[in-house]
Structure 1
Amino acid sequence: MVWALRLNVTNGTDRELTVSAPDLKWGWWYTDNTDDKKPVSIAPGETAYALGIRASRGTWTGYECSCTWLDKTKPSYGAVSIYVDVPYVGNSSGIFNTSGLYSQEGWTPLEKKSSSFTRNVTITAMMGALQVERDDTLREDEEDADYVRYMEMELASNLLFQNWSELEALEEVDQFDAAAAMPDKYMYPPKEFFIARGEIAEIEKSDWPGVGDSVYSNNYAKQSYVDRYFAVPVYSINTNPRATEPVPAGVRKTTMRYAEVVSTIHSTLETNLSIKTSLEAEASDKISGQRVAAKLESDFSIRNVLEESTTRIDKEETKIEIEPADYDRLFVPWVFSTTVAIYCQTKKGEFRLVAISQWAVEQLYRTYKV
């Protein structure tokens, strides 16, 4: 039996779903049962063999890929994305996400011990879901282009963490200064989500049983195939455009606000790669998992790496006085987050993301001249 996944998509909307950034990690594109045929766009009202992938014959690599389909019509309804990982050794996993006004029916989780799959998915649009609540929020037609760009950047963020060589290229800093990192100009989404990374922390071999790894699930496999496990903190910035406030010229304003932002690695977290799951639920040695958690907290100044990821600052609302000026301004609350990622490097020199979590850690404010 061929190791393969076939994705049929029925586009039940009036918009074309256009392929964006298909990424093949392992295996061959196998759309329409044809080697090297990449994923295809899906016309409105049509059913398409949208994506196919198979394992390479004669190898033990399995297959792994991701792809996003964007609605590029303005105003946009949103986006659709898939991530699939079917290793030769370990559990199969996959996620099918929709955003904005899109919803799906038909996707079911991949059976962990299987290698061949067919999924028939129908995409629909939930019209009227976006509402304008206040005059000082962004109007729908203003936000749509930004939202599509946000989705593209979120996909790029997910792929960044799955590619260690790109993540390693970020500037390394000893201490992250959030105040210095606030943008001089306001743009949503920010030009870059991830600003810098911290120093790598090696995980001692004696603590490897505390790292739950879906590919190398027991200590014998780790000792046989793994060269090292290591972790790294990555620092990012984001804001919620609906938390910004206009301040007209000549007006003194008092505001009490905190912001909650969308996690830029939400899709990655949804693949059950959270650090909490790895070091607690899937660790073969819970005590070693606790030692790894303590090391990450100490090295990266994280309060509790076994907490679930969060995008909200836990603090009381802050009263802020904005003095009048002779020009219009925009008040922006920035949220800074720390992401911790654990990687495996095999004895063949290959890198793979094992676990990841993200926490909002600080909120700062700035006004911008309009």
Structure 2
Amino acid sequence: MTWTFYLNVTNDTDRDLELVESQLHWGYWNTGGEEDKEPQSIKAGETIQAVGAKSAFGPNGYEFSCSWKDKNNEYQAPYGVISLYVNVPYNDPNEARCRANGYFEVAEWKDITHDGHNFVRNIRISNKLDKWRQKEISNNLFTDWSKIKTLKEIEDVRDIDLNQYIPSGVHFEKMSLFRTSLFNISKILWDGVNDLEFDSLYLKQREVQQYFSVEVTCLRADATKIETVTKKGKITVKDEYGLSTASKVVEEKVSTIETAFKFTEKISVSEEKVVKASVAQELQAELKAKFNILNAVTKEQQQTEKKSKERVFEAPSDKDMDVVPWIFSKMILLYRTDNNNVTTLIGASEWDYAVLHRTHVYDVMDNAKKKVTTGGEY
């Protein structure tokens, strides 16, 4: 009776897996039950019997190896290589191994027993980067809608006394404080949304339930600008409101708000482009009315709202102190909810809005819990 081995592979990556090496040391190739059919490449998202082998001339065993790599172009870094080795000899114990390197990960592989002659194995190939990205997105407190929607709702951050939100202890992790109500984008303005996945109005109307935007206010201590004041020393600092300073992009894997709400200022003679440009400008006008910070997107300066106040801090006579700048930032987030009720972030940008200072005992890097009331307080 002929001995056989078959391997079914599911390619869960976004790239085809190309066969780059196959060596038959003993036996016959028998992929898909077809004699002499060699191991196969596996397209992205496909499940196939990628390799099969059978013994030569009855119970004489089989031995082979093969490997696959991802198909990439000159601008893409390779993910890695998957390799398979199987040896089912006539007398000695069987051995088989399936390994992956780089970003590849093999799931569901089971070693073969030391004895036995006929085996079918199934594996699933995935990309670790995809899991990392998913974990990163799901754990992102600042852009995951399931967490954002639980924040306290406010109408306008300008109506909030930000001083009461500064904690007594110093910690450098960014905190989400509150959000505005949602701005639901009317369907007649969807053509003004630059959705990279659904890049036509037809796809948007077919696949999307809703586009909406929200403004989130966050707080962080700026570790790079802490000022240390020695005993009895003084320092003058400036609290500022109404800033429009671009901060880091909150989510590198999505468009910036500038891109997500991009419009063409030089209008083409094409009627379609004229209409699309006017829709985008109307959308941006509505967003500017809802989120005042969007003036920063169009590089407009709001000198009328910008204000500052000088404050003097004096260190105690018996100890040094730190003056810590606390930065309040605004994030504008654009989400899409598709017809499967999955809400995805598609655009995000962040701006520093206000800088307020507080004094803390000297061991600030040890997460001091007690403020030093030495002047400069409100």
**Offset of residue 345 of structure 1:** 0.7
Alpha-carbon distance change, 168 to 246 in structure 1, aligned in 2, over 3 angstroms = same
Q: Residues 251-290 of structure 1: matches in 2 within 5 Å?
A: 251-255=233-237, 263=247, 265-266=249-250, 268=251, 270-271=252-253, 273-280=255-262, 285-290=276-281
Q: Is the 8 A contact 1:162 1:353 kept in 2?
A: yes
Unpaired runs of 5+ residues, structure 2, are 1-9, 16-44, 47-78, 84-99, 107-126, 265-272, 300-304, 363-378
Q: Helix, strand or coil: the match of 1:186?
A: coil
Q: Is 1:65 paired with 2:130?
A: yes
**Offset of residue 364 of structure 1:** 1.1
Q: Residues 79-228 of structure 1: matches in 2 within 5 Å?
A: 83=133, 159-161=140-142, 163-176=144-157, 177=160, 178-187=162-171, 189-190=172-173, 192-228=174-210
Alpha-carbon distance change, 252 to 315 in structure 1, aligned in 2, over 3 angstroms = same
Partner of 1:232: 214
Letter in 1 for 2:202: Y
Residue 51 of structure 1, aligned match among 97, 103, 108: 103
Alignment partners' CA distance in 2, 1:261 and 1:240? 14
Q: Is the 8 A contact 1:257 1:317 kept in 2?
A: yes
Q: Is the 8 A contact 2:183 2:290 kept in 1?
A: yes
Alpha-carbon distance change, 197 to 157 in structure 1, aligned in 2, over 3 angstroms = farther
Alpha-carbon distance change, 304 to 157 in structure 1, aligned in 2, over 3 angstroms = farther
Q: Is 1:369 paired with 2:361?
A: yes
Q: Helix, strand or coil: the match of 1:159?
A: coil
Partner of 1:343: 335
Partner of 1:122: none
Alpha-carbon distance change, 167 to 33 in structure 1, aligned in 2, over 3 angstroms = farther
Alpha-carbon distance change, 288 to 66 in structure 1, aligned in 2, over 3 angstroms = farther
Deviations 1:227-256 (A, max 9, x none): 111001111112321210112232233457
Q: Helix, strand or coil: the match of 2:285?
A: helix
Unpaired runs of 5+ residues, structure 1, are 7-25, 35-47, 55-61, 68-82, 85-151, 309-313
Letter in 2 for 1:182: I
**Offset of residue 288 of structure 1:** 1.8
The number of aligned residues is 237
**Offset of residue 210 of structure 1:** 0.3
**Offset of residue 220 of structure 1:** 0.9
Alpha-carbon distance change, 171 to 318 in structure 1, aligned in 2, over 3 angstroms = closer
Deviations 1:109-144 (A, max 9, x none): xxxxxxxxxxxxxxxxxxxxxxxxxxxxxxxxxxxx
Alpha-carbon distance change, 203 to 255 in structure 1, aligned in 2, over 3 angstroms = closer
Alignment partners' CA distance in 1, 2:142 and 2:354? 22
Q: Is the 8 A contact 2:239 2:356 kept in 1?
A: no
Q: Is the 8 A contact 2:244 2:293 kept in 1?
A: no
Q: Is 1:301 paired with 2:285?
A: no
Q: Is the 8 A contact 2:232 2:316 kept in 1?
A: yes
Q: TM-score, normalised by structure 2?
A: 0.52
Alpha-carbon distance change, 223 to 301 in structure 1, aligned in 2, over 3 angstroms = same
Q: Is the 8 A contact 2:210 2:336 kept in 1?
A: yes
Letter in 2 for 1:202: N
Letter in 2 for 1:288: V
**Offset of residue 216 of structure 1:** 1.0
Q: Helix, strand or coil: the match of 1:184?
A: coil
Q: Helix, strand or coil: the match of 2:293?
A: coil
Alignment partners' CA distance in 2, 1:260 and 1:349? 34
Higher mean C-alpha displacement, 247-256 vs 328-337: 247-256
Letter in 2 for 1:174: E
Alignment partners' CA distance in 2, 1:358 and 1:169? 20
**Offset of residue 292 of structure 1:** 2.0
Higher mean C-alpha displacement, 195-204 vs 295-304: 295-304
Partner of 1:90: none
- The two structures, once aligned, show a CA RMSD in angstroms of 4.2
Q: Is the 8 A contact 2:331 2:350 kept in 1?
A: yes
Q: Is the 8 A contact 1:339 1:358 kept in 2?
A: yes
Alignment partners' CA distance in 2, 1:281 and 1:64? 33
Q: Helix, strand or coil: the match of 2:191?
A: helix
Q: Helix, strand or coil: the match of 2:316?
A: coil
Letter in 2 for 1:212: N
Letter in 2 for 1:301: N
Letter in 1 for 2:101: Y
